[in-house]
Amino acid sequence: KQASEEAFNTLKQAITTTPVLRMPDFKIMKRAVREYVRACDVCQRNKSETMRPVGMLQPLPIPDQIWKGISMDFNEGLSKSRGKSTILVVVDHLSKYSHFIALSHPYTAKTVACTFQDIVRRLHNLPRSI
């Protein structure tokens, strides 16, 4: 019984003499928050933009000849057909004519460039803009 009373009195003294509200050290808190946010994957993905808004989208200029302005895109994740699972899509901006070129995965910049040269450039020459 004596030991429990001593423990109670020690605990009571510790609780009653400790300040209830202590002002936090904001420098330490700011550093801790910054480190936490840097390490947090969800925070990095969902943080707000730090740049000013870029404004309205501007339309691309309309080319004056076909195959002088093109766009290219890759359509991946398709089921394999004859060992190829990716489609390189090349579209002319003026005529909307398209080439769909099958590629095998993995492909490199060199294989894409060679394929582009063999098919698109051979038929239409080099575009001014891609």
CA distances from 30 to 22, 27, 75, 120 (A): 17, 5, 44, 56
For the segment 53-99, what is each residue's pLDDT rounded down to a tens digit?
Answer: 778 888 888 889 999 999 999 998 888 888 888 999 999 999 999 99
pTM of the model: 0.56
For the segment 103-127, what is each residue's pLDDT rounded down to a tens digit?
Answer: 988 889 999 999 999 999 999 988 9
pLDDT at 65: 92
- Across 21-40, average pLDDT: 82
